[in-house]
Structure 1
Amino acid sequence: MTDTNTDAGTDSDALGSPTPVLSFSPVVLPVPGRPVDLQLRVTAPATGTGLPVILLSHGHGNSNHLSSLHGYGPLADLWAELGFVVIQPTHLSSKTLSHLHADTPEAPLFWRSRAEDMSRILDRLDVIEGAVPQLAGRMDHDSVAVAGHSLGGFTAALLLGARVTDPDDVQQADLFEPRIKQGVLLAAPGRGGDILTGAMAELFPVFRSTDFSRMTTPALVVAGDKDDSRHFTEMGPDWHADPYHLAPGPKTLLSLVDAEHGLGGISGYDAAETTDENPERVAALGRLTAAYLRTQFREGDNAWQEAQDALTTGPGAVGRVESK
């Protein structure tokens, strides 16, 4: 399916005027040994070359389709509009696939497989580019970022260098992906250890061993200051800032004012489970994250500073920024 999407635009700003977006799905990658083929959605500007790539990892969630290539339109469309190629895999943890492999040992999170999906995508960027009409020759294969929301943020952290101990074989898992140059963690889980006292921590013991001390790749950590994940910890919203505080620099923290776990509704347009629906917050988050990534990829680009000045200062600030 190919769509031309011009409805996700924002007014002209420091990042430039909005452009038409092309969205194509599914791109199907056969993967030997995987229970089902890896299916992707690719969203890209209709024009332009040398386009950097964002690998977007969906969350777990309770909805039927947002945790798949069909979700995260509010971010994917805006990022593409602002000059990125966004590639969204449907991980095996997606509710759209759970009926096919509920008894698989790694179910239901498929935490290792999720990270491996991203490496498989990087292995076959040429195939993906060639499969999408009007995209051939337009991607910058050396400018790759990973972004992820919630469980997707955990996936992104592993690819950026965070480590966990596999609860099945008690071996440390190293899923670091050197081809990824930077990352954006959106409402990602925080530290493991004794602060995990909630019911979900008992169900998913892999989170107990999370270690950010070797997550060295540059990253923007986004946390809502009202994202209180009591099902994991009594630590409060600060838990989601752990990937910033506990990882070595360079790291940047964007704390969004009044944002809960959905960060205003990034997982889908008009998603019923969004508890803090705020389209303006989503638009600001999209602009800020795109500006951060663009400045990191383009030496001398001032988009990140301009976006901060516009959106994180003054009485109408959507959030606060700190860096190390």
Structure 2
Amino acid sequence: MSDSNSGHAPTTVVSAKPVVLPAPGRGEDLQVRVSAPATGDGLPVVVLSHGFGSSMNGYAPLADHWAAHGFVVVQPTHLDSRTLGIPAEDPRTPRIWRLRIEDLTRALDGLDTLEAAVPGLAGRVDRDRVAVAGHSWGAQTASTLLGARVLGSDGTPGEDLSDPRVKAGVLLALTGLGDDLTPFAAEHFPFMRPSFDSMTTPALLVAGDKDQSRLSTRGPDWFTDPYAYSPGPKSLLTLFGAEHSLGGIAGHEAAETTDESPARVALIQRLTTAFLHSALHGDDTGWKAAATALEDDPEPLGELRSK
């Protein structure tokens, strides 16, 4: 394993965008941003699903950090992106949650094209080490590839959309069970009725203990449901004082950030990177060190639990 993969000093990152993947039946082709370290080989892949309204250009604090620490980061632009301007009355709107999942699968199917689009990346990608990540709606999207399923109106689990290529997940501010939705959310977002019983793929979940959703009648503990109700191996990082933006992961000085905290973002960067290296490379020394450092911190920014 080369130095760029082992958590040492960050390396130069090379990005290509938009890389366009044909998407018949979607209404428009899928635009993707691909970022990778300029050096190193055997690079694992992280497909990052953005939150509502964002795009392949969002989440720089995560995407750039992961790429600088040895990962190929793949960021599709979903149909809800503000950059596409699709009106709410568009006939695809009720299906966007499903099309989002297909976007992630399409990105994995198109890895040859994505790899070829980044200068110097050809032959350096490890197809057998793949993770998915997401924030908010993006976490819901990514969770289905890990085995989460959407319950039908009668309570039976819907289609199994898990992907055997995906070996790990990082789920940030993933919404909880559908029993506690507001009437508005229950009517407009029927896909927000998850079952985590079959979400068996290893994952790190990140929740803010001040994340009060307008979609739920519950408090911030709603965001810990995916950890509580999924089988292990799972870890949960609960961030103290964090709201839905978790300190600002959506972008540097992004307008939607309500709880700006560079220190909190730095902690997320360190722990997610260590987790991904552990889950995809099987070397958990960095993960154990990061967990111990948090535990030993006299003024910790959060708490980590694992099962």
TM above 0.5, yes or no, is yes
- CA change 1:20–1:135 in 2 (3 A) is same
Uncovered stretches (5+) of structure 2, i.e. residues with no partner: 1-5
| Native 8 Å contact 1:165 1:173 kept in 2 | no
Among 113, 129, 135, the residue aligned to 1:143: 129
TM-superposed CA distance for 1:234, in Å, is: 2.4
Do 1:50 and 1:138's aligned partners in 2 also have CA atoms closer than 8 Å? yes
- How far apart are residue 102 of structure 1 and its match? 4.2
Contact kept in structure 1, 2:30 and 2:77, CA below 8 Å: yes
The alignment status of 1:69 with 2:56, answered yes or no, reads yes
The structure 1 residue matched to 2:43, chosen from 28, 40, 51, is: 51
In 1, Cα distance between the equivalents of 2:186 and 2:37? 40
1:270-309 equivalence runs, <5 A: 270-309=253-292
The answer as to 2:158 corresponding to 1:175 is: no
Deviation string for 1:240-283 (max 9, x for gaps)? 11111001111111111111100110111111220000112111
Q: SS state of the match for residue 110, structure 1?
A: helix
Query: Is the Cα–Cα contact under 8 Å of residues 204 and 237 in structure 2 kept in the other structure?
Result: yes
Residue in structure 2 matched with residue 196 of structure 1 by the alignment: 181
Q: Single out whichever of 44-53 and 104-113 deviates more from structure 2.
A: 104-113
For residues 239-318 of structure 1, what are the structure 2 equivalents within 5 Å? 239-318=222-301
Residues of 2 paired with 1:206 and 1:191: CA distance? 11
The change in CA–CA distance for 1:109 and 1:259 in structure 2 (over 3 A counts) is farther
Distance 1:276 1:109 in 2: 31
Offset of 1:201 from its aligned partner? 3.3
- The answer to whether 1:162 aligns with 2:148 is yes
Deviation readout 1:229-248 (Å, 9 max, x if unpaired):
1x111211111111110011
Residues of 2 paired with 1:115 and 1:312: CA distance? Answer: 35
Q: Give distance in 2, aligned partners of 1:130 and 1:44.
A: 12
CA apart distance, 1:312: 4.1
Secondary structure of the residue that 2:278 maps to in structure 1?
A: helix
Contact kept in structure 2, 1:185 and 1:220, CA below 8 Å: yes
Percent of matched pairs sharing the same residue:
57
Tell me the C-alpha RMSD between the 2 structures.
1.8
- Asked whether 1:235 is paired with 2:222, we answer no
Distance 1:296 1:88 in 2: 20
Matched AA of 2:181: L
What's the secondary structure of 2:104's corresponding residue? helix
| Corresponding residue for residue 7 of structure 1 | none
TM-superposed CA distance for 1:204, in Å, is 1.2
Q: Kindly provide the amino acid, as one letter, of the partner of residue 132 in structure 2.
A: V
- AA aligned to 1:70 is N
Deviation per CA, 1:121-144: give whole Å up to 9, x if none: 111211110111111111111100
Moved over 4 A (4+): none
The match for 1:211 is: 195
> Between Structure 1 and Structure 2, how many residues are aligned?
300
The yes-or-no answer on 1:39 pairing with 2:22 is: no
SS at match of 2:247: coil
State the Cα distance separating 1:35 from its structure 2 match: 0.6
Q: Which residue of 1 aligns with 2:209?
A: 225
Q: Aligned partners of 1:23, 1:300: CA distance in 2, in Å?
A: 27
CA pair 171-286 structure 1, distance change in 2 beyond 3 A: closer
Residues 261-318 of structure 1: CA deviation (Å, up to 9, x unaligned): 0011011111122000011211110110010010112223411011112234322322
* Structure 1, unpaired ranges of 5+: 1-13, 62-66
